[in-house]
Amino acid sequence: MKKLCIFSLLVILLISNTVLSYDNSTNQNEIDMKKYKDNLMLVTKMFFDSYTKNCKEGDGYACLNLAMMYEKGNIIVKKDVKKALEFGEKSCNLGYGKGCGFLGYKYFFGKNVKQDMKKALKYYDKACKLDDFLFCHKLGIFYEKGLSVNKDYFKAFDYYKKACDNNFYDSCVSLSDLYANGYGVRQDYSKAIEYSKKACDHKNAVGCYFTGYYYFIRSSKPKKEYIIKAKEYFGKACDLKFQEGCNTYRVVNELEMKLFKK
């Protein structure tokens, strides 16, 4: 990581040097693009050489970066989808979760490989087991919605729970929804609020919206304290730029005035 920071600094210095070499004379109205490209090539090669060395020494992060270089190609590396797959597999086999996720993504969407949902799920699951919680969340979605797998709320619950417990807040929102509807778990609005509020407390707008919604549906009697709470969380969702939160805040605000204001 320290080397990466040094290389990044070199990128800035080299490119800045190119830009600063520009003057406003009539003969120099453009940046010297040749110098810029030479500097870019130099820095890219430095990264490539570093990743190659570190990958050979067992660094899964470096192997994944090589895979992504070969996946797209760049100024010094010719696109080679076979090598991209090889380095992705090496990254995953070295226990780097994002390397497994990279392979899962390729097989899920058929990116330069034959689409294979069984392999995609296998690699996503391996990434999740290696504590890359984005892929736990993705698996939760697949099983909740029945995307390329048989719908299984219990498995969805387990994947969301793991991700949420490790502070992947979108999964907390999804977990709250399972609790609210009794999918894969006993219905429990207190738990639904607990998990949606956890997401909201970390600036997740949908988490705030769901929290407001759960309080609001409890207010069907109606009960003033729940309406006030609902309004509070719809407002938080709105403040986090979630328009539906703003729309619902207005409705609840008008309802509160109608029911409780003299």
Q: Are 209 and 234 in contact (CB under 8 A)?
A: yes
CATH topology of domain 131-192: 1.25.40
> What residue spans define the domains of the chain?
42-118, 131-192, 203-262
pLDDT tens digits along 50-78 = 999 999 999 999 999 999 999 999 999 99
Torsion of CA 226, 229, 233, 234, to 10 degrees: 60
Across the range 94-111, mean pLDDT stands at: 97
| Amino acid symbol at 212 | G
Same fold for the pair 42-118 and 131-192: yes
Q: Does domain 42-118 have CATH number 1.25.40.10?
A: yes
pLDDT tens digits along 129-183 = 999 999 999 999 999 999 989 999 999 999 999 999 999 999 999 999 999 999 9
CB-count exposure of residue 27 (10 Å: 0-12, 13-18, 19+): exposed
The angle formed by the CA atoms of residues 179, 185 and 189, to the nearest 5 degrees, is 25
The model's pTM is 0.82
